[in-house]
C-alpha cells in the first residue's frame, strides 16, 4: 500500500474526466494490458484457458461499476449468466466475481438483489460459484445484506471483507454461523481514519487476525493478497492448526501481479485463483492498481511516453 497522499492523488485522478479521457484514448498501450485480459469476452476466454493449463483457477470480472441505467445493470447480469454457461460448456475452471453497483445497486437495491439472485441461480445450475466484490465503505452494509439474502437459498455464494476497515472483525464474526465463503483483502479504496486503519502495519495485522479467525471456523477462506509475508504467515498457521492445503481455503491474486509467488504456491500444492478482469471500462480498475504501487506509475508513464 502506498503513502496516503500519493494514493489519494492517484485515486482522485480516477474521478477526473480529463484524465479518464486522455488515458482511455490511448487504450491498452498505456499499460492496462498488464492487468486486464482484453476488452472482449474472447480475450478473456483465451487467457482463462491458458491460466487453467498452467494450474490456476480463474475468477472472471467484467469491468464496470456504478451503472446508472437499468438496462446496463441487466445487461451485466445477463453477461455473467452467459459466461457461467460458457465456462460449463468449455470445462473452464473459472467462476465469477462482480460488484453490486455493476448490477444496479446505485439505482435500486431490489434490482441489484434480483440480478445477484439470477447470477447465483445460474452459478448453482452450472455447478459453479459466485462472489460479491466489496466496494467503498458506503456499500458494505448493503453488500453484506445482499449476501445474507443470497445465502438463505444458495450455498455457492461468497463475499469479501477488507482488513483496512475497523468493522471487519465484527462483520466476520457475525457471518461465522453461516459457514461463509469469504475472500479477505486489504482494501483498494481510500477510507477515513475514523473507520479504517491508517497505518499499513495495522491493516496487515488485521488481515492476519481475520485469516486466522476464518480458518479456525467452518466455511471457506480466499486469502487474496500479494503480500509474501502474509502468505507465509497463513501457510504457517494452516500447517500448525491442521488445515489441509486444499478444500478449506485458496490463495487469490490479481492477473498480472506477483506471478512468481502464485506459481510457487501452485507448485507447493495449494489452490490458487487469479482474478482476471476484461471489458472496455478498465479505467477505474487500472487507477486502483496504480494507487497500490509507485512502480506501476513509472511503468504506466513509460508506456504513455512510448518508451
Q: Which residues here bind ligand FAD, judged by CB under 6 A?
A: 1, 133-134, 160, 162, 185-189, 224-227, 252-254, 257-258, 275, 289, 292-293, 296
57 closest CA partner among 234, 267, 250: 250
Strands 157-162 and 249-254: unpaired
To the nearest whole angstrom, how small is the minimum distance from the Cβ of residue 87 to ligand FAD?
Answer: 17
Annotated catalytic residue, options 7, 133, 227, 273: 133
* Beta carbon nearer to ligand FAD, 85 or 145: 145
- Shortest spacing between CB 259 and ligand FAD, in angstroms: 10
Alpha carbons 163 and 212: distance in angstroms, whole number: 12
**What radius of gyration do the chain's Cα atoms show?**
18
From the CB of 37, what's the least distance to ligand FAD, in Å?
14
Nearer to ligand FAD, 70 or 301 (CB): 301
Catalytic option among 7, 131, 151, 183: 183
The question of whether 4 is a catalytic residue gets the answer: no
Shortest Å distance, C-beta 301 to ligand FAD: 14
201 is catalytic: no
* Largest pairwise CA distance in the chain: 54
**Contact (Cβ atoms closer than 8 angstroms) between residue 102 and residue 157:** no
In this complex, which beta carbon is closest to ligand FAD, that of residue 50 or of residue 69? 50
CA atoms of 86 and 140, how far apart (whole Å)? 31
Place of cell 479467525: 213
Q: In the complex with ligand FAD, which residue's Cβ is closer, 111 or 223? A: 223
Residues 6 or more apart whose CB falls under 8 angstroms from that of 58 comprise 48, 51, 52, 92, 93, 94, 95, 273, 274, 275, 276
> Mind telling me the catalytic residues?
133, 183
Amino acid at each position: 500500500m502506498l503513502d496516503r497522499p500519493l494514493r489519494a492523488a492517484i485515486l482522485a485522478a480516477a474521478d477526473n474526466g480529463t484524465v479518464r479521457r486522455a488515458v482511455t484514448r490511448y487504450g491498452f498501450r498505456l499499460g492496462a494490458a498488464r492487468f486486464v485480459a482484453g476488452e472482449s469476452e474472447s480475450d478473456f476466454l483465451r487467457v482463462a484457458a491458458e491460466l487453467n493449463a498452467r494450474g490456476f483457477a480463474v475468477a472472471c470480472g467484467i469491468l464496470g461499476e456504478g451503472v446508472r441505467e437499468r438496462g446496463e445493470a441487466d445487461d451485466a447480469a445477463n453477461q455473467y449468466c452467459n459466461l457461467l454457461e460458457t465456462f460449463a460448456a468449455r470445462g473452464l475452471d473459472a467462476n465469477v466475481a462482480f460488484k453490486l453497483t455493476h448490477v444496479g445497486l446505485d439505482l435500486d437495491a431490489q434490482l441489484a438483489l434480483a440480478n445477484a439472485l439470477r447470477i447465483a441461480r445460474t452459478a448453482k445450475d452450472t455447478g459453479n460459484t459466485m462472489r460479491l466484490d466489496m466496494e467503498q465503505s458506503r456499500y458494505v452494509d448493503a453488500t453484506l445484506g445482499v449476501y445474507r439474502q443470497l445465502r438463505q437459498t444458495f450455498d455457492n455464494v461468497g463475499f469479501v471483507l477488507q482488513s483496512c476497515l475497523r468493522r471487519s472483525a465484527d462483520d466476520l464474526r457475525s457471518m461465522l454461523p453461516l459457514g461463509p465463503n469469504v475472500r479477505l483483502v486489504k482494501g483498494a479504496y481510500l477510507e477515513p481514519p475514523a473507520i479504517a486503519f491508517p497505518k499499513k502495519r495495522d491493516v496487515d495485522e488485521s488481515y492476519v487476525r481475520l485469516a486466522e479467525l476464518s480458518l479456525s471456523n467452518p466455511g471457506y477462506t480466499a486469502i487474496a493478497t500479494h503480500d509474501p509475508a502474509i502468505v507465509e504467515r497463513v501457510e504457517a498457521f494452516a500447517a500448525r492448526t491442521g488445515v489441509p492445503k486444499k478444500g478449506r481455503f485458496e490463495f487469490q491474486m490479481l492477473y498480472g501481479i506477483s506471478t512468481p509467488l502464485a506459481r510457487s504456491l501452485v507448485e507447493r500444492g495449494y489452490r490458487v485463483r487469479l482474478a482476471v478482469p476484461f471489458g472496455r471500462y478498465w479505467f477505474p480498475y487500472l487507477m486502483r492498481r496504480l494507487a497500490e504501487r509507485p512502480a506501476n506509475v513509472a511503468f504506466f508513464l513509460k508506456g504513455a511516453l512510448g518508451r
